[in-house]
A and B are shown apart, each in its own frame.
Chain A
Amino acid sequence: MDFELDSEQTALREAVRDLLNDAYASTEARRAVQADDPGFGEKTWLQLAEMGVLGLPFAEDVGGMEAGPVEVGLVAEELGRVIAPEPFVEAVVLAGGLVDAVGTADQRTALLGGLSDGSTLLGFAHTEPGSRWSPSAESVRAERRGDGWALTGVKTPVVAGARADVLVVSARTDAGTELFLVTGEDADRASFRTTDGGRAATVTFEGTAARVLGEAGVDRTDAIAQAVARAQIAACREAVGAMERALWLTVDYLKTRKQFGVTLSTFQALKFRAADMYVQLELARSTALWATLLLDAGGDALDAASRASVQVAEAARHIGQEAVQLHGGIAMTAEYSAGHYLARLLVLTHALGDRTHHLSRLASNLEGHRWVDPLAYGSATA
């Protein structure tokens, strides 16, 4: 058992950290990038591609790096630290992961190669108005049209949906929920600003031309659930990075901000609250790391994702809110970053399932195990 990075992983972390520190040296720099579509840095995205980051989880023969969840997780954590707006989890882990898992050889080569080298941005259009993290599509439907398919219905929010070159879209068919590829330009896309300052789109299909991803006639609900679980675990790591920065930002502020003639760090009430933030951070970090390692070992991704999400979401709300409260009024302003961490943590813990969603999943499966053994290989609940 080992929870530390090896030297190659450490080198990757340092390289990504340097790149992101450079790109987002200030809150102002990040806000400028996020101000307009696509809501993230195109240049930063290409630099990540050059570093091999966008192809991390994919096989070498489709242009990837053949790395695993550990590398994906450490990149996510670095993105979280500076609340970088690049849609790494959505494009690479989620949309790319689905293409990798379900796509034909040709689709994998074309799309994952393009994703890895930065030339093709993938988006995952799955959430529908009113849906709550179901792995199946409900209102968007696909019908055969000639050799291909036509999609009808609305997906929202689709992160980076207005910029995506290719959308991976879930839709109902006679087989259940299948996955389709739609050229971004072919869909009607309305971009909007998200809670965390990024961009998402409402994507409307009106008989829009689509190709089926992988073989037709196969229900992809399980594949979606698996890919979402892997993305949840990466998002948990991103949240850990953000929480760590939010804590230290707060600690630094307590050490420097003076009131009543002394620094805020003089007050025990504030010190204890900072200590509680640290406790939450470390518990969340342990669980998110474990979920990453469980993926690496081929364990039950859904269970690991829910366990990590419950812990991380609790910590994220606690740390995000306390970061704002302990700063005071300055954290309410858009030009200061503490509030941005709160907003980003909110998005990270809602996009793919909130705490209640995951807790209720765990609560409905209490009798399947006597206790949780984190060292059990293959399952968290042997």
Chain B
Amino acid sequence: MRLRLSEDDAAFREEMREFFTTQVPSEIRESFAQGREHSKDDIVAAQRILNAAGIAVPAWPAEWGGRDWSPLRRHIWLEEMRFANVPPPLSFNASMIGPVIAAFGSQELKERFLPATANLDIWWSQGFSEPDAGSDLASLRTTAVRDGDEYVVNGQKTWTTLGQHGDWIFTLVRTDPQAPKRQMGISLLLVDMTSPGVTVRPIELIDGSFEVNEVWFDQVRVPVENLVGEEGQGWTYAKFLLGNERVGVAPVASIKRALADAKRIAATGGPGGSSLLDDPLVAARIAELENRLLALELTALRVVANSDEGKPHPASSVLKLNGTETQQAVTELLVDLAGPAALALGDGDGAQGLPHWAAHASPRYLNMRKASIYGGSNEIQRTIIAGTILGL
């Protein structure tokens, strides 16, 4: 047992810190540091800088740009990136479809898509959830019917995050409605979003943002070579895709920054610049959150430090559940620190007189309620813990 990083890992941490704070333009990082979401241009620019340095997709196979790093190193890489306010590589590309194509795609698909996916020349969207298939994803109804050298796709996807920027969408479709088990009739198709019959409609969210979309497929014709792997194996690939990443499940460094910001704000956020930390209830709440975050970070470190053998660490299931709860708790703290300014939904229109953080506390709080819903809701996570760990 040893707490410190090995000399090599410590040197690696320094190298990453140096890279992210010097090689990624400060405009990109500062914009985020000031509480703005990363723009599409920032995300693309940052990923291309990383890719040029060979560190955009370290978890991929080496032949396609991967680095054979230990889980601990990938954790350090991601945490240092978040710490420096560098937008991480687009997860749809780097963590989702890239590894699936690399593992299951034909050589032709790999050559056609992987370099462009790593460099974010293609912005991928995710076509999984449907209006009637949320947590119960296997009940999806979008169909793909073979017609010569093409599939004809019909149906509707939803919650497609940042789909408004999407060039391509990886889509789970039902190719065999007669399969004995509903999971067996599902395939994974890559669809060009400029194809005739694809319609994207943004959904306005409770914070006023447009982050997710509905995507309709109406007689969309997709060449058969855009099928990933084998027909009928889509469910297996989807499970691989969703369970692929143990690293970065809980965005510790982002939460840490947000909490540090909240504490700094609280120190002068009272009437006339007084400190809200003088209120013992506020101080106790922040101390509690710092400690919860410490426990979360240590659990993430345990998972990455001791999962070299390839099998997932049992504690990894805790990370999604507790990570999102902790992330949400910090947004709750900020909305409470904002006081009456919590009535403002951003600092547009007539609300410019309010501090930026206070005016944005409520939209961020509302927006972050998504975290315990997406990527397998926290009720699904509890089901997984009860089933796979406790055997209930």
A residues sitting closer than 8 Å to B (CB atoms) are 1-6, 9, 70, 247, 251, 254-255, 265, 268, 270-272, 274-276, 278-279, 282-284, 286-287, 289-290, 292-294, 296-297, 299, 307, 310-311, 359-360, 362-364, 366-367, 370-372, 374-375, 377, 380
Q: Which residues of B sit under 8 angstroms from A70, Cβ to Cβ?
A: 1
B49 within 8 A of A: no
- B310 to nearest A CB, angstroms? 16
B278-298 interface code vs A (CB 8 A; 1 in, 0 out): 001001101110111111111
With beta carbons under 8 angstroms apart, the residue of A1, A272, A286, A370 that contacts B72 is A1
Nearest residue, chain A, Cβ from B390? A251
With beta carbons under 8 angstroms apart, the residue of B3, B284, B302, B386 that contacts A274 is B386
B5 touches A289 (CB 8 A): no
B287 touches A366 (CB 8 A): yes
Q: Which residues of B sit under 8 angstroms from A370, Cβ to Cβ?
A: 260, 263-264
| A-B CB contact pairs (8 Å), 24 listed | A1-B4, A1-B72, A3-B305, A4-B1, A6-B1, A272-B386, A275-B382, A275-B383, A275-B390, A278-B318, A286-B295, A286-B299, A286-B301, A286-B315, A290-B298, A293-B3, A296-B1, A311-B292, A311-B294, A359-B288, A364-B283, A366-B283, A374-B294, A374-B297
- A287 to nearest B CB, angstroms? 5
Q: Which residues of A sit under 8 angstroms from B263, Cβ to Cβ?
A: 366-367, 370
Q: Which residues of B sit under 8 angstroms from A362, Cβ to Cβ?
A: 287, 290-291
| Docked complex Cα distance between A9 and B1 (Å) | 9
* A286-B298 contact, Cβ under 8 Å, with A1-B305, A363-B286: yes
Closest 3 A/B residue pairs (Cβ): A286-B298, A293-B3, A271-B386
B379 within 8 A of A: yes
Nearest residue, chain B, Cβ from A272? B382
Q: Which residues of B sit under 8 angstroms from A251, Cβ to Cβ?
A: 390-392
Q: Which residues of A sit under 8 angstroms from B1, Cβ to Cβ?
A: 2-6, 9, 70, 289, 292-293, 296
| Chain B interface, >50% SS class | helix
| Docked complex Cα distance between A359 and B288 (Å) | 7
Interface residues of B in 242-273 (CB under 8 A from A): 256-257, 259-260, 263-264, 267
Question: For this complex, into which size category does the number of interface residues on chain B fall?
Answer: 35 or more
| Docked complex Cα distance between A194 and B312 (Å) | 42
Interface residues of B in 360-392 (CB under 8 A from A): 379, 381-383, 385-387, 389-392
| Docked complex Cα distance between A274 and B387 (Å) | 10
- A273 to nearest B CB, angstroms? 9
- A185 to nearest B CB, angstroms? 41
A372 touches B290 (CB 8 A): yes
B18 within 8 A of A: no
| Docked complex Cα distance between A272 and B390 (Å) | 11
B283 touches A1 (CB 8 A): no
B3 touches A290 (CB 8 A): yes
Query: In the complex, given contacts A307-B291, A311-B292, what are 4 additional A-B residue pairs having Cβ atoms less than 8 angstroms apart?
Result: A9-B1, A278-B390, A282-B318, A296-B2
B9 within 8 A of A: yes
- A5 to nearest B CB, angstroms? 6
| Docked complex Cα distance between A197 and B287 (Å) | 34
B295 touches A287 (CB 8 A): yes
| Chain A interface, >50% SS class | helix
| Docked complex Cα distance between A366 and B267 (Å) | 10
B residues sitting closer than 8 Å to A (CB atoms) are 1-6, 9, 72, 256-257, 259-260, 263-264, 267, 277, 280, 283-284, 286-288, 290-299, 301-302, 305-306, 315, 318, 321-322, 379, 381-383, 385-387, 389-392
- B251 to nearest A CB, angstroms? 14
Q: Which residues of B sit under 8 angstroms from A310, Cβ to Cβ?
A: 287-288, 291
A4 touches B286 (CB 8 A): no
Q: Which residues of A sit under 8 angstroms from B305, Cβ to Cβ?
A: 1-3
Q: Which residues of A sit under 8 angstroms from B290, Cβ to Cβ?
A: 362, 366, 371-372
Q: Which residues of B sit under 8 angstroms from A293, Cβ to Cβ?
A: 1-3
Nearest residue, chain B, Cβ from A265? B392
Q: Which residues of A sit under 8 angstroms from B298, Cβ to Cβ?
A: 286-287, 289-290, 374
Nearest residue, chain A, Cβ from B3? A293
- B277 to nearest A CB, angstroms? 6
B2 touches A284 (CB 8 A): no
Nearest residue, chain A, Cβ from B282? A363
- B126 to nearest A CB, angstroms? 27
| Docked complex Cα distance between A290 and B359 (Å) | 38
The listed residue with most A CB atoms (<10 A of its CB), out of B256, B385, B390, is B390
A359 touches B287 (CB 8 A): yes
Q: Which residues of B sit under 8 angstroms from A275, Cβ to Cβ?
A: 381-383, 385-386, 390
Q: Which residues of B sit under 8 angstroms from A5, Cβ to Cβ?
A: 1
| Docked complex Cα distance between A367 and B306 (Å) | 33
Q: Which residues of A sit under 8 angstroms from B286, Cβ to Cβ?
A: 363, 366
* A375-B287 contact, Cβ under 8 Å, with A4-B306, A287-B298: no
- B36 to nearest A CB, angstroms? 21
Q: Which residues of A sit under 8 angstroms from B382, Cβ to Cβ?
A: 271-272, 275-276
- A379 to nearest B CB, angstroms? 12
Q: Which residues of A sit under 8 angstroms from B315, Cβ to Cβ?
A: 282, 286
- A173 to nearest B CB, angstroms? 34
Q: Which residues of A sit under 8 angstroms from B256, Cβ to Cβ?
A: 371-372
Nearest residue, chain A, Cβ from B300? A286
- A249 to nearest B CB, angstroms? 12
B306 touches A283 (CB 8 A): no
Nearest residue, chain A, Cβ from B316? A282
* A279-B322 contact, Cβ under 8 Å, with A251-B391, A293-B1: yes
- A358 to nearest B CB, angstroms? 9
- B12 to nearest A CB, angstroms? 12
Nearest residue, chain B, Cβ from A276? B382
A284 touches B295 (CB 8 A): yes
Q: Which residues of B sit under 8 angstroms from A270, Cβ to Cβ?
A: 392
Q: Which residues of B sit under 8 angstroms from A279, Cβ to Cβ?
A: 318, 321-322, 385
Q: Which residues of B sit under 8 angstroms from A278, Cβ to Cβ?
A: 318, 385, 389-390
